[in-house]
Amino acid sequence: MRIVDPCGCFPTGRHYPGIAHLIQVRAVGVAEEIPADSPWVDCVIAFVDVETTGRDPALDRLVEVAVILGRSGEVFERKSWLINPGIPIPEESSAVHGIRDPDVVGKPAFHEVLPEIRAALEGAVPAAYNATFDKSFLLAEIARSPGRGGTGALPPAFRREVEWLDPLVFAREIYKDEQSRALSDVAERLGISLERAHRATDDAEAALLVLYALGKDQRLPRAYAALLQEQRRLGREFDEARRFWRKPAS
């Protein structure tokens, strides 16, 4: 297990001036092939976005996958695949992303493009906006695929123990006084273009640029493992607060 020094945090976090260099934390959720103390902005980040037939990864299927690769604040490669889900696309889902049954006729099934998706994600830090959704669908499709992702060491995004970066977590903190932290609204606040919301390639690229923009905030840690640690802390605080929002009135 790697040990790293955390750096920086939001005001609600536990930051002790003068002794931060003495505090050590376990690097939980990091991809082992990426040094835990490396600056995350200098790592290759694979930003994933998926469009689906619905919201349940156990029942629904992918209809589009995009992987946008970035490093040092810049996008350097774009990959996307339209996928035949093998089931009808409900109208309510098509109303969101605009993909309909005729658009996927003749397109490959997920397992046919899985080797290409795997190659795009190889060795990169996985990320997604509201990452739980995209990760759960990707892993569910892999589990249903013959060979389940292929042989040899799987890319970080294919391993359940690897945590994905999620700029939504930081947007909720930075823009906690704003009504919406939807990707389109956060992108607009940051001056980032998002022309076709809810299409995988456009969403993934905009979200990666949002991550880089939020990363300029001095409260965000610079080290890869420390950023994941702060993301987990903020996520726990948000989940705890949400429990009280949903508490039934007595």
Tell me the pLDDT tens digit for each residue of 163-190: 999 999 999 999 999 889 999 999 999 9
Q: What pLDDT is stored for residue 22 in this prediction?
A: 47
Neighbours of 13 (CB within 10 A): 16
Poorest-confidence range of 26-35, 93-102, 227-236?
Answer: 26-35
> Helix 131-144 crosses helix 110-121 at what angle (to 10 degrees)?
120
- The fourth-level CATH superfamily of domain 3-245 is Ribonuclease H-like superfamily/Ribonuclease H (3.30.420.10)
| pTM (two decimals) | 0.87
Q: What pLDDT is stored for residue 23 in this prediction?
A: 47
Q: How confident is the model at residue 248 (pLDDT cuts 50, 70, 90)?
A: low
Q: What pLDDT is stored for residue 182 in this prediction?
A: 94
Q: What pLDDT is stored for residue 244 in this prediction?
A: 76
Domain positions in the chain? 3-245
Q: What pLDDT is stored for residue 241 in this prediction?
A: 83
Q: What pLDDT is stored for residue 3 in this prediction?
A: 39
Q: What pLDDT is stored for residue 147 in this prediction?
A: 83
Neighbours of 219 (CB within 10 A): 16
By DSSP bridging, strand 62-71 and strand 74-82 are antiparallel
Q: What pLDDT is stored for residue 1 in this prediction?
A: 39
Regarding predicted confidence, which is higher, 8 or 245? 245
% residues pLDDT > 70 (the chain): 87
Tell me the pLDDT tens digit for each residue of 122-159: 999 999 999 999 999 999 999 999 987 777 889 999 99
Tell me the pLDDT tens digit for each residue of 39-73: 999 999 999 999 999 999 999 999 999 999 999 99
Is the distance from CB of 69 to CB of 76 less than 8 angstroms?
yes
Helices (H) and strands (E) in the chain, counts: 8, 6
